Structure 1
Amino acid sequence: MSQSFVFRTIELDGQVLRTAVRPGKDHMPPLLVFNGIGANLELVFPFVQALDPEMEVIVFDAPGVGGSSTPSTPFRFPGLAKLAARMLDYLDYAQVNVIGVSWGGALAQQFAHDYPERCKKLILAATAAGMVMVPGRPHVLWKMASPRRYLQPSHVVKIAPDIYGGAFRRDPNLARSHAAKVRSSGKVGYYWQLFAGFGWTSFHWLHKIRQPTLILAGDDDPIIPLVNMRMLAWRIPNSQLHVIDDGHLFLVTRADSVAPIIMGFLAEEKHPAVIRPPASAVIKH
């Protein structure tokens, strides 16, 4: 799978970013992926593989994750959105569609808000509006607060059913496969990502997001309860909600089912209404 990607390591103002691009066709806008907290780009490869092969896809390791460098001081979400825009400039992309997963969904909201001309359509998967949200169960959030699952593969296998829910409850091989793709760069980068969202919320400006937005939620998500995705759909004007019968990582576990929903959404074009006079008003000669 990785052979179909073009990997590049770029430097922007002292920050090294590891990027990967799956080349596509010019007639389809590229898709930029904002990954979850602590997640290196390889973890979304199964999802990318399920998408239309003609669509160009851009993935990258966030600062402090995978092959990207760990900054000396943490970024906040506006700074990360600015860095993503700079990365697109460097890679020569003017406009993209954006998908954000979990922590990356918060970053996707920030990017769509701060750079509306760069974001054509927005997809939010298993995410929330930050501090204004209904939290998951305390024991799940406590496990999420630690980077241990990215440092010890055996720990992922142990806790995956509890924190990811859905298919991970039924198939232990999923956790082992997930753990095998993890590439951690240490604890500091994980804590920096946690700090990016500390005190952050999009709730007060979600109504300003004008891009067509697809919201995807798992009905068995221990980290982001479904009510949070309903809240996003309520606050974002031009949005639609799809509920998936799975847990937090449905983009990977249900990739073959979710990919057609995403491709259909990206292919939609809004057409102006055609107003015709009623038949009784038509003048016959």
Structure 2
Amino acid sequence: MPQNYVFRTIELDGQYLRTAVRPGTSSLPPLLIFNGIGANLELVFPFVAALDPTLEVIAFDVPGVGGSSTPATPFRFPGLAKLAARMLDYLDYSQVNVIGVSWGGALAQQFAYSHPERCKKLILAATSAGAVMVPGRPKVLLKMASPRRYLQPSHGVAIAPDIYGGAFRRDPHLAEAHANKVRSSGKLGYYWQLFAGLGWTSIHWLHKIRQPTLILAGDDDPLIPLVNMRLLAWRIPNSELHVIDDGHLFLITRAQSVAPLIMTFLSEEKQPAVIRHQPTSALIKN
């Protein structure tokens, strides 16, 4: 377990959230991570390790995942976004940059839309606009619909090439290393996450997301075909798209390549063009 994280379990109205903060000294706002479905916060540590070590990073287990408690009734994405904002209040953060991965990318969109004052910049990785997405192949989606890969690590290793694509097709050790970091809290939390996105879509308000947005897509992603990321880039006004030569989990498998892209994006302060008017006399020909 990394020693430079501060782990806390906080309580918000009876809901316990397990959080991990990597302290930093950067002048940039901290980076808040919304993880994928069923994924506990430890799964993003390889990605965090590739980022600038001075950048402060916040990760947490959503309700029903990892070390967080499972609620009696499920949250929807707006409720989860509100809970994340309250978590930031508790941890004493006013504004953050946000990255969302896969299922967490939908939550990141909701957070940026519902709480724009809390989100300075937005990064969307391997995600979609929800119900209107162009789906992956049915047999891949069926494997994702079950939490079995988190409950039985051997099953997760077996299906990893089919659901994650990219480097997982070529290196079986990646699936084993990934499975070893999984911390499941049971089936119910996974089904609650599925329910959070049931019928949800951001397509009708994506044009209202004004934050600078970096969109990252894998070109061999069985779960989120590339066309979905192109749709996001088309609908979000201030966005840029980068396509990564890998699969669904490129943040982990290509961390050393992707992290510099992210740090450059977070560090950029785009200034409006300065128009200097020439004196009238200079425009008059003799």
Q: Rate the CA distance shift 1:93–1:152 in 2: closer, same or farther, 3 A.
A: same
Q: Does 1:267 align with 2:262?
A: no
Deviates more, 1:198-207 or 1:274-283: 274-283
Contact 1:218 1:247 in 2 (8 A): yes
Q: Rate the CA distance shift 1:279–1:71 in 2: closer, same or farther, 3 A.
A: same
CA distance in 2, matches of 1:281, 1:16: 70
- How many residues in Structure 1 have an aligned counterpart in Structure 2? 284
Q: Which residue of 1 aligns with 2:184?
A: 184
Query: Superposition pairs for residues 62-77 of structure 1, below 5 Å?
Result: 62-77=62-77
Contact 1:35 1:101 in 2 (8 A): yes
Contact 1:28 1:54 in 2 (8 A): no
Q: Rate the CA distance shift 1:155–1:210 in 2: closer, same or farther, 3 A.
A: same
Q: Which residue of 1 aligns with 2:133?
A: 133
Query: Superposition pairs for residues 24-63 of structure 1, below 5 Å?
Result: 24-63=24-63
CA distance in 1, matches of 2:2, 2:68: 17
Which letter does structure 2 place at the counterpart of 1:54? T
Q: Deviations over 1:129-175 (max 9, x none)?
A: 00011000000000000000000010011000000000000000000
Deviation at 1:272, TM superposition (A): 2.0
Percent identical: 83
Q: Which residue of 2 aligns with 1:162?
A: 162
Which letter does structure 2 place at the counterpart of 1:2? P
Q: Which residue of 2 aligns with 1:149?
A: 149
The runs of 5 or more residues in structure 2 that have no matched partner are none
Match of 2:94, SS?
coil
The runs of 5 or more residues in structure 1 that have no matched partner are none
Structure 1's consecutive aligned runs of 4 or more residues displaced over 2 angstroms after TM superposition are 276-283
Deviation at 1:280, TM superposition (A): 9.2
Which letter does structure 1 place at the counterpart of 2:195? F
CA distance in 1, matches of 2:20, 2:122: 20
Q: Which residue of 2 aligns with 1:209?
A: 209
Which letter does structure 2 place at the counterpart of 1:268? E
CA distance in 2, matches of 1:82, 1:91: 14
CA distance in 1, matches of 2:22, 2:281: 55
CA distance in 1, matches of 2:142, 2:123: 27
Deviation at 1:268, TM superposition (A): 0.6
Q: Does 1:110 align with 2:115?
A: no
Q: Which residue of 1 aligns with 2:173?
A: 173
User: Aligned-pair RMSD on alpha carbons?
Assistant: 1.4
CA distance in 2, matches of 1:282, 1:107: 55
CA distance in 2, matches of 1:94, 1:282: 49
Deviation at 1:26, TM superposition (A): 4.9
Which letter does structure 1 place at the counterpart of 2:274? V
Q: Which residue of 2 aligns with 1:14?
A: 14
Which letter does structure 2 place at the counterpart of 1:165? G
CA distance in 2, matches of 1:236, 1:190: 29
Q: Which residue of 2 aligns with 1:235?
A: 235
CA distance in 2, matches of 1:228, 1:259: 22
Which letter does structure 2 place at the counterpart of 1:117? E
Contact 1:129 1:203 in 2 (8 A): yes
CA distance in 2, matches of 1:183, 1:282: 71
CA distance in 2, matches of 1:26, 1:232: 29
Match of 2:228, SS?
helix
Q: Rate the CA distance shift 1:27–1:149 in 2: closer, same or farther, 3 A.
A: same
CA distance in 1, matches of 2:96, 2:149: 32
Contact 1:64 1:70 in 2 (8 A): yes
CA distance in 1, matches of 2:212, 2:281: 36
Match of 2:130, SS?
coil
Which letter does structure 2 place at the counterpart of 1:259? A
Deviation at 1:278, TM superposition (A): 5.4
Match of 1:117, SS?
helix
Match of 1:58, SS?
strand
CA distance in 2, matches of 1:173, 1:281: 72
